[in-house]
Amino acid sequence: MRIKDFERTMDGDYSLFITRVADEGGEGDFELRFAGPGKLVERMLAEATIELTVDSRQDESQVRRAVDADYQAHRRSMWEAASLTDADSLLKPAPGPPDRRNVVLGSVRPVSGEGTPFVLTLSTFFVPAGFSLFFFGLPVLTASALVVPATGDQDNFVHLFSPTGPVIASSRFGGTTPDLAWFFIPFLPVVPVFQVFGFTAGVCANFTATGAP
């Protein structure tokens, strides 16, 4: 689907985009939301393909498969980073604090039911330098995120509970090297907040966020 297919409401220059997605396991319906300055949402997501799957029949093996599919390439990138030949990439400064003027927010939340396992995929979207896309997932014990830059350099962070919460996982390779991040917490479910940060402006070919109980 495209952002133009979402229902849109506006409050001044701030826009909210909403659509509904059914749990493929038949357990209920969910809302997929994006919000931010209207012109910024359109600039970042106008050309994006947006897909959300919620399937209460899935389990943590869904996340494990997602990580396994990309781990060898990630391991190769780690090996190359350990050569210590690209100090600029290794010493990239941390993003500044988020500001409502330079972020697009996204979330999935239940309208009915509690089906937790989810997969969000965004393809071909623009991220300006210094701007971020944040996505609030459902409560999970394990999650992964893959960011594949096509141009520029987008970095991958996973926070706990909020965009300003602690970073539990991240990957920040330079240029168009894919970034893979994941975590597992064996105690109580947490809400992952995924961040795609534009270190330099460019198009993100693919962002996939996956979570499960």
Cα-based distances in Å from 42 to 2, 25, 37, 103: 11, 32, 9, 12
Q: What is the mean pLDDT of residues 169-186?
A: 94
Measured between alpha carbons, how far is 108 from 101 in angstroms, rounded to an integer? Answer: 22
Instruction: Please tell me the total number of residues recorded for the chain in this structure.
Output: 213
- CA 66 to CA 178: how far, in whole Å? 14
Binned at pLDDT 50, 70 and 90, residue 115 comes out as low
CA-CA distance, 117 to 115, in Å (whole number)? 6
Residue of 68, 71, 64 whose CA lies nearest to 178: 71
- Measured CA distances, 28 to 23, 86, 109 (Å): 5, 48, 11
Task: Convert the pLDDT of each residue in 119-152 to its tens digit.
Answer: 999 999 999 999 999 999 999 999 999 999 999 9
pLDDT range class, residue 68, cuts 50, 70, 90: confident
End-to-end alpha carbon distance in the chain: 26
Secondary structure letter of residue 190 according to DSSP: B
**Hey, is 130 helix, strand or coil?**
coil
Q: Which CATH number fits domain 3-212: 1.10.10.60, 2.60.120.380, 3.40.720.10, 3.40.50.300?
A: 2.60.120.380
Could you tell me what percent of the chain has a pLDDT over 90?
Answer: 70
Q: What is the pLDDT of residues 40-60, one digit of tens each?
A: 999 999 999 999 999 888 877
Every domain of the chain and the residues it spans: 3-212
Answer for the pair 208, 131: CB distance below 8 angstroms, yes or no.
Answer: no
Average pLDDT value for the chain: 93
The pLDDT score that the predictor gives to residue 28 is: 80
Instruction: Tell me which of 60 and 183 has the higher pLDDT.
Output: 183
Res 173: pLDDT: 94
pLDDT band with cut points at 50, 70 and 90 for residue 113: low
